[in-house]
Structure 1
């Protein structure tokens, strides 16, 4: 993934996208979006893959995959995520991706603290 020009926070763009979003888990996406942003004030957001995406210092952290309507799917696509130990993270792809899934609002609320911890650990690793 490398450095990209995603250092500008496009919260207005993401807010507009979320206002128009027609997805069965829209409320869960919004809850998780707020948890991710709350992990560090320097996290920026924008739209990537037709979904909210989050970055830190120009490095991508994670992007929602909204194609699935069965659950909330969050893709961590920073190679440093492979070094983070968490039951929330699934897969160990050769390109450095890992996934997190949330079944419903109860599941999202139960996992949001762990999500925030993962984001904080990823931000710390990027900052080294």
Structure 2
């Protein structure tokens, strides 16, 4: 299977089109995600900034989304982080929301204070996700 392609410029262009205060919130979340591990790369996928595991993995079916960590949806000044396979994470922080049958879990950010408050927990669940990668 072909690897996803790291494309930070497309993510920067996407963020630069947002209203400045919201763009700053999204950029802060972006840097928080990227700083969690050097194995995280980014691109635009599903019309949103998306973060994925960039290392080698065992083969898998494309619809399993095993490489995709987070899709950052931006709606009405709300940053919604969707973990397509978030149900695999044993979230002891309580940060992951929802109980969707397809395995998605989410984290919502509306303010910079929320980002600061949830930063450690977000990085913890990302590291837990990375530890589960089938390498």
TM-score, length-normalised on structure 1? Answer: 0.84
Q: Which runs of 5+ in 1 are unaligned?
A: none
Higher mean Cα deviation, 112-121 or 72-81? 72-81
Q: Is the 8 Å Cα contact of residues 75 and 98 (structure 1) preserved in structure 2? A: yes
TM-score, length-normalised on structure 2? Answer: 0.80
**1:117 match:** 124
**2:60 match:** none
CA-based RMSD: 2.2
Q: Which runs of 5+ in 2 are unaligned?
A: 56-65
Return closer, same or farther for 1:126/1:84 CA change in 2, 3 Å cut-off: farther
Q: Which has the larger radius of gyration?
A: 2
- Tell me how far 1:70 sits from its aligned partner: 4.8
State the structure with bigger RCO (CA 8 A, min sep 6), 1 or 2. 1
Return closer, same or farther for 1:20/1:13 CA change in 2, 3 Å cut-off: same
Return closer, same or farther for 1:95/1:4 CA change in 2, 3 Å cut-off: farther
> Out of 58, 68, 72, which is 1:64 matched to?
72
**1:34 match:** 31
Higher mean Cα deviation, 68-77 or 29-38? 68-77
Number of residue pairs the alignment of both structures matches: 124
